[in-house]
Every structure is written in structure tokens, then in C-alpha cells.
Structure 1
Amino acid sequence: MTKNTGSQVRKPSVLDNFKPLLIDVAVPLGSYYVFKDALGMSTFAALAWSSVVPAMRTVWALVKERKTNGLAAIILAANLVSLLLTFVTGDPRLMLAKDSGVSSTVAIGILVSVRLGKPMMTAGMKPFLIKGDTAKEAAWQRLASGAAADSAAFRRKENAFSVVWGTVLLAECIARFVGAYTVPVDTMVWLGSVFMIGAIAIGFVVSGGLAVEPMERMLKAEAEAVAETEAGQAEQPAMSVAA
């Protein structure tokens, strides 16, 4: 186990790696369905109460850590848009089109995060690439910080992952909106779900080939390079003692 200034460095667990997803995404979404379906709250009340955690996380990051919690902020923004759209009633086509408002909020937030140099989808991708591996975690930090030879390429792929998902979700939003006013209402009721499933499938395939697989190779190569360097450094003192 690695050490730092005489004390052991705790290996991050799988839970540590997935904690941002659990707190910022799973808790708000899960609580919404609990409030609405299990407790029988109205859509408005369920959205409002499920926004408490992302709101607190966003404020905490801004006040205490002086940074933006991207995942919590985008979930909060999507909930706020959904709250506003709950007042939209009457026209069935408008009711169908309003779902695109939530998708567009998420999509635009993701694309803006890339522009700001803080790609939002990284928080969701990183746990699946690191898998609690200390060596890969260290390799990620070196690649992301610019300390490794492949850092520039790694950052481009990291940005590409978020760009793909932002673009796919925005395209899904546009398709859903257009369909709401051009396709028969009865058809669009189920076609909207097909659009979403199709967008997610495309997102996984394109982002996997364009970003995830190259990043996995870079992480593996960086971790192996460091391991070889450390092994070589460990052998030198032993050879000196033997001499």
C-alpha cells in the first residue's frame, strides 16, 4: 500500500467513486418517485421536495468550496424547469412538447460546462473508468492535471464525452418538440419514449468509441508507466547494496 508522509493513504472504495452520482442524481430522482407515487404527493410538491438536496449541494459548493457542483446544479435546473412547466395545461400538443424543455435544459447545461472547461459528464464517467483502482485514480489525476505526456489528448476526450451527450440530448429535445406538433398525439405519446431510448443508445455507442475507450487505454498506459518507473527506482538501491 502506498504511503504519504508516514501515514497510509486509504484506497478509495467503489462507494467513494460513485458517491457523486448517488447523491446528486439518484437521490433527487429516487425521492421524486417516492414523494409522487409512494406518498401520493402532487407533481409540483414532489418536484419541489426532491429539489431540496440538489439545492443544498449547489449552495454548499458555491459558499464553502467556491466552485460549482455541476451535477447538482443541472438536476436543480431541470427540476425548476419542470416546476414551471407543471402550470402548462390544456393543449395536448403543448403538454407533449413541454418534456423537451427539461431535456434542453440538461443538454445546454452540459454543453456550457464544456465551454467553461468543466465538462459535467465527467462525474458520471469517471467512476466507471476508475472502478476504485488506486493506480488508475492517480493516473487520472496526472492526466487531468497536465502532468502526463498524454494529458492534452486525455482532456480532449474528456470534453468530447460531454459534447456527445449534450448534442445527443439536444437533438432528442428538438425531435420531441417537432414531433409534438407534426405527429398525431396518440403516436407521439409512445414515440417520445422511443426518441429518448434511441438518444441514450446513440450516446453510449458514440461516446464509448470516441472517448471512453481511448481514455481507458490512456489510463492503463499511464498507470503501467508509473508502475515500471517505481519498480526501476526500487531496484536501484538494492543493486547498490549488493555491489
Structure 2
Amino acid sequence: MTAATVSASTVAATTSASEPPAPPHPLKQALLPLAVDIAVPLGGYYLLHSAFGIGTAAALGITSVVPAVRTVAAVVVKREANMLAILMLAVNLAAIALTFVSGDARLMIAKDSAISSVIGLGILWSVRAGRPAMTAGLKPFVTKGNAQRVAAWEAIHEDAAFRAKENQYSLIWGVALVSECVARLVLAFTLAPSTMAWLGTVLLLAAIGAGCVLGGAAVEPIEKLIAARIEAESALSPAPTADR
């Protein structure tokens, strides 16, 4: 090996070592908390309960470990409340408690509405606490993983108009889920159980659809605020000069 080859290899290795690691993709970074807080507990529950035959209470208890750890870590390390982790933990605990409820078919149908109520009330409480839970899903949906849009989101996040729409989005979802809970509870004791067996699913899908459609009233203004921020920053940036 010649001295020139060794020198070139040394320079290449030094350059490679000095280069900072590539930053994580914004969309992947935004969706990771959703996967940890929602997909892992839910997927783990169905895997343990359906595939391995573990009891409902035990499966829910095991999968509650993830949101519990996330909640404690957020409080201890970041000194902030992880709203999604807290919400999922509350849902799991409520579901565990309800596994011990038994009775006639109407009571068993009615208890399913408690899960929606925990989620809906949890979202509403998060708005009151100043940390709207649905922001975790709203941010990646609006920014679409675009670094410029993510930067604009962060820049205007404390703006009053932005926060109002951010809260409105979570309020819409919270009200939709609580309404579904109330409707399911009332209908469980007024309609035949055979009807509620399929109508309960319809009500849940209707609530999700209402959240998606009505949530647009908050999403569109947020997208406009982000676009306006990007446009303003572009106007302030110096125009490139032509080489002479």
C-alpha cells in the first residue's frame, strides 16, 4: 500500500468519523410515541389474550407496563406529563376493573361504554390541563414529516390562535367519544341486546368518523397558520445573489 493510499484512507476515515449522525426523519420521530403508547399496549394485549390464551385482566396488566413506564419516565426525566401514556394506562386500568363486572347481557354491553368514556374524558381533561392529548396524532398528520413544516409548528406553537385550534381539535374528539359512550349506555337498556351487538360497533365508527370530519374545522386553520409562517420566513430570507 502506497503512502498516498494510506493518507487518503486516513482522511476518509477522519471525515467519516467527524460527520454528525443523520437526524431522524421528522415523521418517524413524531409517530414513534404513538406506536409506543398505543400500538404496543393494544397489540400486546391481543397477542397475549388471543394467541397465548392469557386471561383478560392478566393481559391488560402486563401491557399496562409500557404506558406506566412511559408515564413515570416523563415525570422523572422530562418533568412533564405524557398525556397519551397516562390515558392508555387509565384505559387499561378501567378495563381491568370492568373484567370483574358480570351480570345480564345489557350490563355487559353497557360496561363497554366505560372504555369510551375513559378515553373521551381523558382527552377533555388533557385540554383543561393545557396538554391536549390529540396533539400527538395531529402534529404528524399536519406536518407530514416535512422539516420546514415541523419547524413552523414549533415556532408558532405558543401562539394564542394556534393553541385555540389545537385545543379545539382535542375537544372535538373528546366530545365525540363521550357522546358515543352516553348513546351506547342509553341504548343498552332500551334496545334488545341482539341489536346492540352490532349497533355498538356502528356507534363507535360513527364517533370516529365525526371526530375526523369535524376535526377538519381545527386542522384547516392550523395548516393555514403553518403555511403563513413558512411564507413569512421565506420572505425574510435573503434572496440568493447571482455569481458574477
TM-score bin, normalised by smaller chain: 0.7 to 0.9
The equivalences for 1:24-173 within 5 A come to 24-145=37-158, 151-173=159-181
Deviates more, 1:175-184 or 1:11-20: 11-20
1:143-187 deviations in whole A, cap 9, x for unaligned? 113xxxxx2211111010000000000000000100111111111
- Give 1:229's aligned residue: 236
The equivalences for 1:2-41 within 5 A come to 10=23, 12-41=25-54
Runs of 4+ in 1 over 2 A off after TM superposition: 7-14
- Give 1:212's aligned residue: 219
Maintained 8 Å contact 2:30/2:136: no
Q: Percent identity?
A: 48
- Distance across 2 between alignment mates of 1:43 and 1:180: 23
- Distance across 2 between alignment mates of 1:96 and 1:37: 20
Maintained 8 Å contact 2:98/2:111: yes
- Distance across 1 between alignment mates of 2:223 and 2:79: 31
- Distance across 2 between alignment mates of 1:82 and 1:165: 20
1:84-121 deviations in whole A, cap 9, x for unaligned? 00001122111101011111111111111111111110
Question: Which among 176, 184, 192 is matched to residue 184 of structure 2?
Answer: 176
Deviation, 1:8, is: 9.0
Maintained 8 Å contact 2:26/2:147: no
- Distance across 2 between alignment mates of 1:83 and 1:94: 16
**RMSD, aligned α-carbons:** 1.9
- Distance across 2 between alignment mates of 1:138 and 1:54: 28
Secondary structure of 2:215's partner? Answer: helix
Under a length normalisation based on structure 1, what TM-score does the superposition of the two structures give?
0.88
Maintained 8 Å contact 1:11/1:132: no
User: Structure 1: which amino acid aligns with 2:208?
Assistant: I
Unaligned runs of 5+ residues in structure 1 are: 1-6, 146-150
- Distance across 1 between alignment mates of 2:88 and 2:201: 20
Q: In structure 2, do the counterparts of structure 1 residues 8 and 139 end up closer, same or farther at CA, with 3 Å as the change threshold?
A: farther
Maintained 8 Å contact 2:180/2:204: yes
- Distance across 2 between alignment mates of 1:13 and 1:141: 12
User: Structure 1: which amino acid aligns with 2:92?
Assistant: N
- Distance across 2 between alignment mates of 1:11 and 1:103: 34
Deviation, 1:228, is: 2.2
Q: In structure 2, do the counterparts of structure 1 residues 8 and 140 end up closer, same or farther at CA, with 3 Å as the change threshold?
A: farther
User: Structure 2: which amino acid aligns with 1:133?
Assistant: N
Answer yes or no: is 1:198 the counterpart of 2:211. no
- Distance across 2 between alignment mates of 1:67 and 1:17: 17
- Distance across 1 between alignment mates of 2:134 and 2:200: 23
Deviation, 1:125, is: 0.8
Deviation, 1:9, is: 8.3
Maintained 8 Å contact 1:36/1:42: yes
